[in-house]
Amino acid sequence: MPLHNAEIADRLNRLAALLEIEGANRFRVRAYRNAAGTVAGLPRDAAAMLADGEDLSELPGIGEDLAGKIAEMVETGSLQALDEVEARVPPGLFEMTRVPGLGARKVKALYDALGLDSLDALREAADRGRIRQVPGFGAKSEANIRRELDRLEGEGDRLRLIDAEHIAEPLMAHIRDLDGVSRATVAGSYRRRKETVGDLDILVVAEDGDAVTQAFTAYEEVAQIVGRGATRATVVLRSGFSVDLRVVAPESHGAALHYFTGAKSHNIALRRRAVARGWKLNEYGLFDGDTRIAGRTEEEVYGKLGLPFIPPLLRENRGEIAAADEGRLPSLAELSDIRGDLHCHTTASDGKFGIREMAEAARALGYGYLGITDHSRSQTVAGGMSTDDLAAQIDEIDALNAEFAGFRVLKSCEVDILEDGQLDFPDDLLARLDYTVCSVHGRFDLSRETQTERVIRAMDNPNFTILGHPTGRLINRRAPFDIDLDRVMRAAADRGCFLELNAQPSRLDLDDARCKMARDMGLKIAVSTDAHTTDGLEMMRFGVAQAGRGWLEADDILNTRPVAALLEAMAR
């Protein structure tokens, strides 16, 4: 059974970590980590790419050897090189490296000193105060480990939305190809495009429900059949992901889709609205007594309850029902509204393609502009540019723009916000840029007050334009750093600055609640991909979905404007 991208990336990261613990060559370790990052960020499943005859060795950071290892995993479900190193190094050490602050060297130190080889062992040692006794650790680091373990346990087994997509899409193709299936939809948090998904709820309209549930449970990735009947089946996939399928009648499809899509509190509010009219609303329809008065479509259900259709992205019971009742529902921004991307990287820092290649990829998406935002000098780990490098890049972009018609490459930089709130390049150099994306990349451990002051002090610089990935979170990997984001957002609005919604599926930073807050205060948001490859530009759809969950309309987003209006809006 082929592995999905998240599973392939996990195995490559596991191999890299265990090799590093073992003391392997650092360039070899880095190659595996870079390959894992490339696979995790692919917009399509590697298995599907191989099936289509694509050469994975042409991907950035993937040579023939690594392409062969990916093909091995796709074809066999395993990786011999990983099996060999796991026979030498306890595999539980990799799980320990998932704890923020515990790199391979620290994990090895804990293993050598205390014999810790699993998260459970790490937890027990932290609770007993044993970690602080190991050289290089102390009471503070021990407390941090306990806190991060608590956070990891609280996150559960939810997948990033993109990883859920890689599971759902081939499964849905399998279901839709079945004889007699007229409709099939994934509902739940997946349809609401939440940043993480805990399981899949699939609704199907079909002539023969028993045949559908039988074919569903026979799907090649099913590891366990929890239950199966004529109209419902529940399975656990090899990945551990749970999937529930229901076959519904055509006259109930809309009601079922509504019932299994909305957040629980949204559905309860709709049921109360029905009860107030003397009706009953459930997954089978809207009923007046025993008579079904709506249910075939969601529009029919909402309409009968006196409401316009509420988009799935908004069904969280955050005021959308009152807004619908009063005719105030937002006209949500769509992917087609985006005119360009304001955050991407090239080979000048840690990107995989040159400026021209990134620009051509943006033009192919129909964009009118692309902002080049390579890292500034303090980001040495990401190949940050020197002042001379940035000056040369500005000249290179000017020359390139002279060749383009109807498209513009924008001069920018992802400028580090230093610990004291200063920006990483001198003002006279920053003034030559069209705008800046300013980001925190280190010292995440500062106090809430100090971190907040750091960012606001940076915003006082007139060359500051957009605050990049404002909380620094990495979904399922790193918690947001402690910052008073309400105060930061007010400071940005007061100073004519903006915040980014980073569309990378591992970030989606801002979250949806803060996007709505920005809209309410009139603070515009830049939805950008932070792309490091040409394929990475295609991640914009995740940012647009997150923006929709935050009620953003096209005008609330900076880069829905043509380039002249964009630059005018960003001018301080």
Q: How many CA atoms lie within 13 A of 571 on its CB side?
A: 6
Which own/partner pairs from 269-274 qualify as long-range (CB within 8 Å, at least 24 positions apart)? 269/317, 269/321, 270/305, 270/321, 273/305, 273/306, 273/321, 274/305
pTM: 0.86
DSSP 266-303: HHHHHHHHHHHTT-EEETTEEEETTEEEE-SSHHHHHH
Query: Topology of domain 335-570, per CATH?
Result: TIM Barrel (3.20.20)
Tokens of 377: 């000098």
pLDDT at 378 over 70: yes
For the segment 250-267, the average pLDDT, to the nearest whole number, is 97
pLDDT of residue 58: 84
Average pLDDT of the chain is: 94
pLDDT in the model for residue 213: 97
Look at residues 550, 138, 534 and name the one whose alpha carbon lies nearest to residue 333.
Answer: 550
Provide CATH 3.20.20.140 ranges for the chain.
Answer: 335-570
Report the alpha-carbon distance of residue 520 to residue 502 in Å, rounded.
20
In the chain, where does the domain assigned CATH 3.30.460.10 lie? 159-247
Whether the pLDDT of residue 454 is over 80: the answer is: yes
SS3 410: strand
Mean pLDDT of 368-379: 97
Q: How confident is the model over 166-175, as pLDDT tens digits?
A: 999 999 999 9
Which residue type occupies 220?
A: E
In the predicted structure, residue 151 carries a pLDDT above the cut 80: no
- Specify the domain boundaries for CATH 1.10.150.110 within the chain: 5-155
* DSSP secondary structure letter of residue 557: B
Please check the confidence at residue 155 and state whether its pLDDT lies above 70.
Answer: no
Residues 535, 501: contact at Cβ < 8 Å? no
Phi and psi of 227, rounded to 5°?
-170, 150
Residue percentage of the chain with pLDDT more than 90:
80
State how beta strands 285-288 and 291-294 pair. Answer: antiparallel
In whole angstroms, what is the distance from residue 265 CA to residue 317 CA?
6
Please determine, for residue 446, whether its predicted confidence score (pLDDT) is greater than 80. yes
* Alpha-helix runs per DSSP H in 77-117: 80-88, 92-97, 104-114
pLDDT at 1: 61
CATH hierarchy code of domain 5-155: 1.10.150.110
Which uninterrupted H or E stretch holds 189? helix 188-191
Q: Which of 303, 174, 306, 196 is nearest to 241 (CA)?
A: 196
Q: Which candidate, 404, 415, 464, 412, places its Cα nearest to that of 433? A: 412
Name the 3-class secondary structure at 332.
strand
Q: What is the 3-state secondary structure (H, E, C) of 478-545?
A: ECCCCCCHHHHHHHHHHHCCEEEEECCCCCCECCHHHHHHHHHHCCCEEEECCECCCHHHHHHHHHHH
d(CA 562, CA 564): 6
pLDDT, tens digit, for every residue of 320-353?
999 999 999 999 999 999 999 999 999 999 998 9
Report how far apart, in Å, the C-alpha atoms of 71 and of each of 53, 66, 125, 201, 306 are: 11, 9, 40, 30, 54
pLDDT digits over 285-307, tens only? 999 999 999 999 999 999 999 99
Is residue 156 scored above 70 in pLDDT?
A: no
Q: Which residue has the higher pLDDT, 146 or 429?
A: 429
CATH class of this structure's domain 159-247 = alpha beta
- Which residue spans of the chain are classified as CATH 3.30.210.10? 252-325
Q: Which amino acid is at 571?
A: A
Q: What is the pLDDT of residues 500-549, one digit of tens each?
A: 999 999 999 999 999 999 999 999 999 999 999 999 999 999 999 999 99
Q: CA 203 to CA 214: how far, in whole Å?
A: 15
Tell me if 527 sits within 8 A of 543, measured CB to CB. Answer: yes
Pairing of strands 280-282, 466-467: unpaired
Q: What does 122-163 look like in DSSP terms, one character per residue?
A: HHHHHHTT-GGGSTT--HHHHHHHHHHHHHHHHHTTPEEHHH
Its CATH architecture, for the domain 252-325, is 2-Layer Sandwich (3.30)
- Asked whether 507 and 531 are in contact (CB, 8 A), the reply is no
What is the pLDDT at residue 154? 63
Residue that is written with structure tokens 């079909």 in the block: 206
What span, in angstroms and rounded, lies between the C-alpha atoms of 29 and 459? 38
For residues 78-91, average pLDDT: 91
Written as six digits, the tokens of 255 are 């009601």
φ, ψ dihedrals at 395, nearest 5°:
-65, -40
DSSP 8-class letter at 474: B
Residue 370 to residue 474: CA distance in whole angstroms: 24
From CA 541, how far away is CA 336, in angstroms rounded?
Answer: 10
